[in-house]
Chain A
């Protein structure tokens, strides 16, 4: 099966940079994704890494190291509206042979003024 570990909570101040780490164990690997979820809302896609290295999308960047089974989400120039939960997710091989998504438990990011 698949499992992911990420910190339960991270706090930072407006304008700062914060990094949310994710380590994973999976049989077969089809990439690491990141999703944002505001309280009571639907998760929304942020980024995806299939290969090692850094992917940048505006203020958000995501990094993957497949040899270390590790990735992180980097948020720059933090804004109050970035306060939300952030989930890493992998698509790994299920017992039936399909690649199915598994989500981490989420990191609650609290941004202070």
Chain B
């Protein structure tokens, strides 16, 4: 199993550009999460999904959108990039009956 994979590893965006951060898991987990982590801070939940076709907002959803058309994929969309979105983005998944979250390697995003 590859676990949770994320692409790209690193990206530089200009203000106002858009992009999609990809996240895929091969563990057949129902629950998937998107977090952002700013330097010296904990993880802030952006969006989450409890299964294909179901998504909901987390703590800091503004400026982001998600979709969950399959169990495996949970892409995060930034429509109009802003410098405040400079961060490291982690995707995670977990089985519905377990607490363990499995994290991807992260995407480092710089918005200039």
**Inter-chain contacts of A100 with B (CB < 8 A):** 45, 48, 58-59
Interface size on B, residues (CB 8 A): 23
Task: Report if A98-B50 is in contact (Cβ < 8 Å); known contacts: A42-B103, A42-B104.
Answer: yes
- Which stretch (A12-20, A43-51, A67-75) binds chain B? A43-51
- With both beta carbons as reference points, the residue of chain B lying nearest to A108 in the complex is identified as B40
User: Interface residue tally of chain A, by bracket?
Assistant: 20 to 34
Q: Chain A interface (Cβ within 8 Å of chain B)?
A: 1, 4, 31, 33, 35, 41-45, 48, 50, 87, 89, 91, 96, 98, 100-106
- The 10 A-B residue pairs with the shortest CB-CB distance, nearest first, are A103-B42, A42-B103, A103-B43, A48-B99, A45-B100, A105-B42, A43-B103, A106-B42, A42-B105, A104-B42
A-B pairs with beta carbons under 8 Å apart, 16 shown:
A41-B105, A42-B106, A43-B90, A43-B92, A45-B102, A48-B99, A87-B43, A91-B99, A98-B50, A100-B45, A101-B101, A102-B45, A102-B59, A103-B43, A106-B41, A106-B42
